[in-house]
Structure 1
Amino acid sequence: MPASREPPVITVVRLASRHPTRSAKPGPPREPPTPPASPQSPAWRPWLLPLVLVTVFLVLLMRSQASPGTSLSYSHFLGKVNTGQVKTVDINDKGAVDGTLKDGRKFTTRIPTALDNSSLEQQLRSEKVDITASTSGGGGLGTLLAFLLPLVLLGALFLWTGRQAARTLSGGLSAVGRSRAKIIEAERPTTRFGDVAGYEGVKQEISEVVDFLRHPERYAVAGAKGPRGVLMVGPPGTGKTLLARAVAGEAEVPFLSVTGSAFVEMFVGVGASRVRDLFADARKRAPSIIFIDEIDAVGSRRGGARLGGNDEREQTLNQLLAEMDGFDQSSGIVVLAATNRPEALDTALLRPGRFDRHVTVPLPNQAERAAILTVHAEGKTLAPDVDWDVIARATPGFSGADLANLVNEAAINAVRAGGAVISAQDLDTARDRVLLGRRETSNALLPEERQAVAVHESGHALVAALCEHADPVAKVTILPSGPALGATEQLPEAERHLYSEGYLNDLLTVRLGGRAAELVAFGEGSTGAADDLAGATQIAGRMVRDFGLSPALGPVGYASGTAQRLGAEPPEAALQRPYSEHTQRLVDEETARLVRQAEKRAVALLREHRTALDALAKRLIAHETVAGSVVLDVLREHRRSADDDAATTDNTMPS
C-alpha cells in the first residue's frame, strides 16, 4: 500500500491565547449569477399609487372645506335672528342650516324637526333674511364617496403589490422553473490555462476534455469515448473555479456555469425543472460544457434521517442523475463540477458513466507557490530584496487564495507605511498578520509578564535549535499579535510529505520548550503554555492512534480516513471511536507518556544551556524581535564559554 501523504505544515509556536481564535481565511470571491432581465414596465406605473393618494387627500380636503363656519346652537341661532344679525340662510330638507351673518361670518346650525317651525319663518321674514332651500342629495353623495374611496384605494394597493411580487419572480411564475445558468459563449473567453500558475497535472486532465470537444473525430478513430463528467475535488481556495473559467476560455464552445444552490428554492419541483431546463439549453448549444460549482449543495448523500421522503433536494438530485444518464455521449456535452466536500456526495453521482474522472486539486507545492505569487504580483512594484522562492518556502500549506491575500496584505502594509513599493519586510509582516493576527501595538505588558514571555519564547527557540530533526528557527518575537503574546516561527528547509518518528518527537519537545523554560527559570508553569499543551496532546494522540508509534498498542491504526494536518482538530467522524474503552485508556496513557517524555527532555536541554536561555531572554527584552541567526549566535557563545570554563578547570587541576 502506498504511504499516506501528509499535507505540508508550517510550525508557529506561540504563547497562550488570551481569547479564542475566531479568524478564518476567506476563500476566493465568486461572481454571482446574473439574473434574467425582467420586462420593462411603463414609465407611468411607479407614479400610479402616489397619484391615487394625492387625489384622495384633495377630495377629503375639499369636502372638509365645503361647509366652513361656526357651529351655533338652535337657541343661539334664534337670538341672532331676533337681534337682526342674520343676513342669509340655506335650509335643506333634513333641517341643516348654512347661513351668513351681516358682518360676513358664516355659521351652521340645525333646526329641530320635531318642533313647529312656522314661527321661525315669520321671524326670518320680519328681519328681512334671505331664505333659500336645498336638498341633502349632495351631502349623501359626498358621504358615499368618503366610504368608497378607502375601499378603492385598498384594492389598488393589493393589485399593485401583487404585480410587483410577480415581477420579482423573473418574469412571473412561468419563469420560476427556468435555469439560472450563466451562459458564456465561445466569443467571450477571458481566462486561459496560462493564467493559472502550477497544477500541470490537473490542467492536463482537464485539457483532454477540451480537446475532445474540439476534435471528437480523433477519439472516434481510436474507438475512445469522451468523459461525461469531471469532478474537481480540493480544499477551499485552491483554484477549482479558476480552472473552470480557464476551461471556458480554452474550449471555444458555449460554457454554462451555475452554482449548486441555484437549483433548490422554496417551491416544490423547481429544482428538477431547472435541471431539465439547464440540460435542454446545453443540448441546443452542443457541443458545450456545464459547470456546477459547489455541487455538494444539490448532490448530498440521500437516505439517513430522510429515508423515502419527498425531499426537494432529493428530487433535484434524482433529476440530475437521470439527465447525466440520458444525454447521448455523441452530443458533445461534458459536465464539470467542483466541491471541497467529496465525502458528502451521493455514491450514485460518483460512479463511472456520470462523473468518470475525479481530479484532485491539492494545495500547491513550493514551486507552484512561487509561480502563483508571481502571478498575483503582476501590476505591483516590488523592491529588489523580494525573493519569491524564499516567500514560497515560508508559506507551506498556503492555498492560492491565501497567497493572493498575502500579496494584497503586503501592498496594504506598504501603503500604510507611506510608500508604494512592496518590500520583503512588507511580505514578512503580512505573513505574520495572516498567521497570527493584527499586531497589538497598544497592549502594554507588565514587567514581570514581559520577562515571562521572553523566557517562554527563548525556551521554544533554543530547544528547536538543539533538536536534530526540528525545523530551523526563522524569527522569535515577544510582540503581541492577535491572541498570542509572542511567537517562535520555524521554517522547513524542504517541503516534507512524510514525517519520521524522530521528527515528531522533536516537534513535541519544541512544543513544550516554552513550558520547560518557565519551569527552569521560575520553578513553576503558567497559563501561557495552554496552546502548546493542546497542540502537543493532539500530535501525541495521532502518533498513538493513527501512526502506530506506541509500543503499548503496536502497529494498529485508527485513522479517520481523511487528510488532516498535524495539530489540526479531528473531524467529527473521528470523534466516534471505533475501539473499546480499554483501548481508549491505553491511548490516553500513551499520549500522556509521550507528552511527559517530551517535557522531561526539554527541561534537561534547557538546564544544560541555562546561560544561553538567560542571554536570549535578555536580547528579546531589549530588541523585542530577533532573527533565527541570533539564536544560533547565543548558542555558540554559550558553548565557547563552556569550553573555556572546562579548559580553565583542567589547567587548575593538580598534576
Structure 2
Amino acid sequence: MSRAAKSGPPPDPIKKPEPPRPPAWRSWLLPLGLLITMVLLFLPSILTGSTTTQSYSYTDFLSKVDAGQVKTVDVDDKGSLSGTLKDGTQFTTQIPTALGNSQLEQQLQTKDVQITGKVSSSGSGWLTVLFSLLPLVLIIAFFAWTGRAAQRSLAGGLGGFGRSKAKIIEAERPTTRFADVAGYEGVKQEVSEVVDFLRDPARYAAAGAKGPRGVIMVGPPGTGKTLLARAVAGEASVPFLSVTGSAFVEMFVGVGASRVRDLFTEARDRAPSIIFIDEIDAVGSRRGIGGIGGHDEREQTLNQLLSEMDGFDQSSGIVVLAATNRPETLDPALLRPGRFDRQVTVPLPNQAERAAILGVHVANKHLAPDVDLEVIARGTPGFSGADLANLVNEGAINAVRAARTTITAADLGAARDRVLLGRRETSNALLPEERHSVAVHESGHALVAALCEHADPVAKVTILPAGMALGATEQLPEAERHLYSEAYLNDLLAVRLGGRAAELVVFEQGSTGAANDLSGATDLATKMVTEFGLSPELGPIGYPAGDAMYLPGAPKEAMHRYSEETQRIVDQEVARLLREAEARAVRLLRDHRDALEWLAGQLMEHETVDGGAVLEALRHETPGLGVRRGAPAVLVADSSGNTTA
C-alpha cells in the first residue's frame, strides 16, 4: 500500500519552535574552571621556584659564618634555619639539636649576623588549606552542574532511562492523509472511525456507544500498516505519539514499565490523543513462554501496558494503535475487548489496488506509451506496496542505465524479473549442451502450461541466466483468484514438472536443473494432502502448517503431530500425486514432440520468446489450437530449479 498522488504540492510542515539557546557565558565555564584549577595547583611552586634557595649542610653553614658571609638567619623552635648571605643568596639548613651546640649564638653575634626567631605552626594556614581544597570544590561543582544539565535535557535523571522515547506529533502539524493512501477502503474506514470518535465523541455518546480503546493492524510486511498510522496522524486534530515496541526494552529491570507509564502520562496530559506502537510483538508476546517467570523485564513491561490500557484507571480520550506481523505471538490479555477492541487485517493488495499503487509511484516519472499499469498489476500477484515501489524504482534504474529518462514496458519487465529471479547474469556463459538442455527444459514448462486446461497462459520464456536461475517460464493470469480448484492444482503440478518431463522425453534422463522444481512441487503436493483434504486415502483431514500466518518460515505454535501410520499415508499420497503429474506431462510432451523441438530451437536462436511463440509451436502441429486459460498466480519456473510463485 502506498500514498496516492496529491492534487497539489504538500504544505510545508510547521516546525516546532526551537528551544532557547543557552547564554554564551555558559560555554566559557568549563575552560575557565580548568584554568583556575591549574593556576591554583601550580602557582605556589612557580612562585617559590622563581628565587634560588640553596640547601647547606650544617658544617658548610658554620664555614659561611666563620668567613663572615652570612647576613641574616631565621631560626624556629624545631631547629630549621633559613637565611640570606651578604651576596643575596637565600639558604636553608637544619641545626643538629641533638648535639646541643650552644656556641652558635655567640658565633653569629661575633660576626654581626642579624638573628630572628619564630615559632613553627602545628597546622597549615587558612590560605594553604583553601588552595588545597579549592580544586576539589571546583571539580565537584562541575559534575553537579553537568548532572543537572543532563537531567533538564533528558527529563529523567542520569541517562533518562525511564523516560519514553515516543515521537510526539502535535495536532497542527500536517502530514499524510487518508486520501493519500491508495486502496484499502475497508481498512481506512475502520481506522477513520477512531479519528472520528476523537474529533466528535458526543455523537457516539448520544447513541450510547463507546469508542474503541485500541486498534491493532496485522498483515504481511510492506502492506502499509505504518503508513496508515501516519495517515491517522494527519487526519486527527489531536496529538499523536509514535513509538516502536523495541523502544521499551532495555537491559535494566523496570525501565520498560517506567517508559510505558511515562508514555501514557504524556498522552493523558495531551488528551484526547493517539498512541501508535509499531511492532508491538517485541513487547506484547505471550507471558510464560519457555518457562520464564513473571519477574523478567519483558513481562513487567507487558503487565504495565495491560494495566495502562484497561486497569483501575479508566482514562478516557486515549486510543492506542498498534501494528504487527505476528499476531499469533501476542498475549491473549492484550487482545481482549477493552484493550485492543478491533483487529484490522491489512492484506496484500488485489489487482485493482496494485494498479492504483503503481499509479502513485509512477506519478512523478516519465512513462513510455507502451506501459500498461493494468498488465503490470496482473503480472505481480502477491506483491506488497513496498514490492511495487521497488519494482518501479528498478525500472527507473534500468532506464538510467540505457541513458534514458523515460521508463518503458521493457524496463518494468526487466525489473520484475530482477525482483523475482535476481540480477541478470550476462557473463554466465553456458556450454552448448547446457544451453540446449535449458532450452528443452523451459520449452517443456511452456508447452505443458499451454496444453493444460486450467493453467495460466504463458507470457514469456527465456534461457538467459538471472540470479540462480538458468532460464525462466513466466505465466500471466488473466484474472486474480482467491480460491483454487483441485483441477487447477493438478495442472500446476504438471507445469512444475514439465521441465523434467521434457528432459526425459528428449534426453531420456533427468538433470540437476529440476531440483527446485521438484522441491516446489513436493511442497504443493504436501499441502494438497495435509491441508486441503484432496487425498482420497487420507480423507477430509487437515493438519495445519507450523509457519506464522504473515511471516512464512517463522515458527508458530507446535504443529499437530500425527502417527507414523498417518505419515506413511501422507508420503505415499504425495508421491502418487507427483508421479501422476510427471506421467501426465511426459505424455503431453511425447504427443507434441515436434512442437517441443521447434520451440527449443526458437529459444536457442532468440534466447527469449513471448507467449505467442508457444502458440505458434502448437499451431505447427495442430492448426487453430487455442489455449485454455485459467487465472490465479504467477509461476516462474527456471532450469536451475528456482521456482517462484
Report the TM-score range of the alignment, normalised by the length of the smaller protein.
0.7 to 0.9
Residue 203 of structure 2 aligns to which amino acid in structure 1?
A: R
The residue aligned with 1:487 is 472
Equivalent position SS for 1:626: strand
Where does 1:89-488 land on structure 2 (aligned, <5 Å)?
92=54, 134=91, 172-173=157-158, 175-326=160-311, 331-488=316-473
State the alpha-carbon separation in 1 of the partners of residues 335 and 343 from structure 2.
8
Contact 1:256 1:282 in 2 (8 A): yes
Contact 1:179 1:275 in 2 (8 A): yes
Residue 396 of structure 1 aligns to which amino acid in structure 2?
A: P
State the alpha-carbon separation in 1 of the partners of residues 485 and 314 from structure 2.
48
- Cα shift readout 1:316-362 (whole Å, capped 9, x = no counterpart): 11111111114877832211111111001000000011111111111
State the alpha-carbon separation in 1 of the partners of residues 149 and 439 from structure 2.
66
The residue aligned with 2:581 is 598
Contact 1:38 1:171 in 2 (8 A): no
Residue 527 of structure 1 aligns to which amino acid in structure 2?
A: T
Q: Do structure 1's residue 617 and structure 2's residue 600 form an aligned pair?
A: yes
Equivalent position SS for 1:474: strand
In structure 2, relative to structure 1, the CA distance for the partners of 1:330 and 1:264 (3 Å cut) is: closer
Q: CA deviation at 1:156?
A: 12
In structure 2, relative to structure 1, the CA distance for the partners of 1:430 and 1:533 (3 Å cut) is: same
The residue aligned with 1:25 is none
State the alpha-carbon separation in 2 of the partners of residues 191 and 160 from structure 1.
42
State the alpha-carbon separation in 2 of the partners of residues 332 and 159 from structure 1.
40
Equivalent position SS for 2:241: strand
Residue 610 of structure 2 aligns to which amino acid in structure 1?
A: A
The residue aligned with 1:512 is 497
Residue 629 of structure 1 aligns to which amino acid in structure 2?
A: G
Q: Do structure 1's residue 534 and structure 2's residue 519 form an aligned pair?
A: yes
Please, what TM-score do these two structures have when normalized by structure 1? 0.75
The residue aligned with 1:549 is 534
Contact 2:166 2:243 in 1 (8 A): yes
Q: CA deviation at 1:612?
A: 1.2
Q: CA deviation at 1:618?
A: 1.1
Q: CA deviation at 1:624?
A: 0.9
In structure 2, relative to structure 1, the CA distance for the partners of 1:328 and 1:91 (3 Å cut) is: closer
In structure 2, relative to structure 1, the CA distance for the partners of 1:493 and 1:46 (3 Å cut) is: same
Residue 587 of structure 2 aligns to which amino acid in structure 1?
A: A
In structure 2, relative to structure 1, the CA distance for the partners of 1:249 and 1:260 (3 Å cut) is: same
Q: CA deviation at 1:586?
A: 1.0
State the alpha-carbon separation in 1 of the partners of residues 444 and 620 from structure 2.
17
Q: CA deviation at 1:577?
A: 4.5
Q: CA deviation at 1:167?
A: 9.2
In structure 2, relative to structure 1, the CA distance for the partners of 1:327 and 1:380 (3 Å cut) is: farther
In structure 2, relative to structure 1, the CA distance for the partners of 1:618 and 1:311 (3 Å cut) is: same
The structure 2 residue matched to 1:608, chosen from 566, 591, 597, is 591
The residue aligned with 2:112 is none
In structure 2, relative to structure 1, the CA distance for the partners of 1:205 and 1:171 (3 Å cut) is: closer
Q: CA deviation at 1:304?
A: 2.0
State the alpha-carbon separation in 2 of the partners of residues 117 and 426 from structure 1.
103
RCO comparison, higher one (Cα < 8 Å, 6+) = 1
Equivalent position SS for 1:464: helix
State the alpha-carbon separation in 1 of the partners of residues 513 and 58 from structure 2.
99
More off after superposition, 265-274 vs 223-232:
265-274
Q: CA deviation at 1:413?
A: 1.2
State the alpha-carbon separation in 2 of the partners of residues 600 and 381 from structure 1.
49
Contact 2:213 2:340 in 1 (8 A): yes
Q: CA deviation at 1:254?
A: 1.4
Contact 2:150 2:159 in 1 (8 A): no
Residue 457 of structure 1 aligns to which amino acid in structure 2?
A: E
State the alpha-carbon separation in 2 of the partners of residues 478 and 634 from structure 1.
17
Equivalent position SS for 2:622: helix
The residue aligned with 1:105 is none
- Cα shift readout 1:548-593 (whole Å, capped 9, x = no counterpart): 111111111112387879xx96653477442111111111111111
The residue aligned with 2:109 is none
Contact 1:255 1:288 in 2 (8 A): yes
The structure 2 residue matched to 1:503, chosen from 488, 509, 518, is 488
Contact 2:442 2:471 in 1 (8 A): yes
State the alpha-carbon separation in 2 of the partners of residues 230 and 313 from structure 1.
22
Equivalent position SS for 1:183: strand
Contact 1:36 1:170 in 2 (8 A): no
Residue 613 of structure 2 aligns to which amino acid in structure 1?
A: V
- Cα shift readout 1:339-387 (whole Å, capped 9, x = no counterpart): 1110010000000111111111111100011111111112111111111
State the alpha-carbon separation in 2 of the partners of residues 540 and 564 from structure 1.
20
Contact 2:246 2:283 in 1 (8 A): yes
Contact 1:294 1:337 in 2 (8 A): yes
Q: CA deviation at 1:602?
A: 1.1
Contact 1:560 1:571 in 2 (8 A): no
The residue aligned with 1:23 is none
In structure 2, relative to structure 1, the CA distance for the partners of 1:394 and 1:510 (3 Å cut) is: same
The residue aligned with 1:580 is 563
State the alpha-carbon separation in 2 of the partners of residues 204 and 170 from structure 1.
38
In structure 2, relative to structure 1, the CA distance for the partners of 1:40 and 1:526 (3 Å cut) is: farther
**Number of residue-to-residue matches in the alignment:** 563
- Cα shift readout 1:474-493 (whole Å, capped 9, x = no counterpart): 11111111111111111111
Contact 2:328 2:548 in 1 (8 A): no
State the alpha-carbon separation in 2 of the partners of residues 486 and 57 from structure 1.
76
- For structure 2, which runs of at least 5 residues remain unmatched after alignment? 1-14, 70-86, 95-132, 626-645
State the alpha-carbon separation in 1 of the partners of residues 606 and 145 from structure 2.
71
State the alpha-carbon separation in 1 of the partners of residues 208 and 478 from structure 2.
49
Residue 402 of structure 2 aligns to which amino acid in structure 1?
A: A
Residue 247 of structure 1 aligns to which amino acid in structure 2?
A: V
Q: CA deviation at 1:206?
A: 1.2
State the alpha-carbon separation in 1 of the partners of residues 27 and 204 from structure 2.
59
State the alpha-carbon separation in 1 of the partners of residues 216 and 400 from structure 2.
41
Contact 1:226 1:329 in 2 (8 A): no
Residue 427 of structure 1 aligns to which amino acid in structure 2?
A: L
State the alpha-carbon separation in 1 of the partners of residues 205 and 38 from structure 2.
77
The residue aligned with 1:72 is none
In structure 2, relative to structure 1, the CA distance for the partners of 1:328 and 1:47 (3 Å cut) is: closer
Residue 538 of structure 2 aligns to which amino acid in structure 1?
A: L
- For structure 1, which runs of at least 5 residues remain unmatched after alignment? 1-33, 68-89, 96-112, 138-147, 643-655
State the alpha-carbon separation in 1 of the partners of residues 525 and 361 from structure 2.
38
In structure 2, relative to structure 1, the CA distance for the partners of 1:619 and 1:332 (3 Å cut) is: same
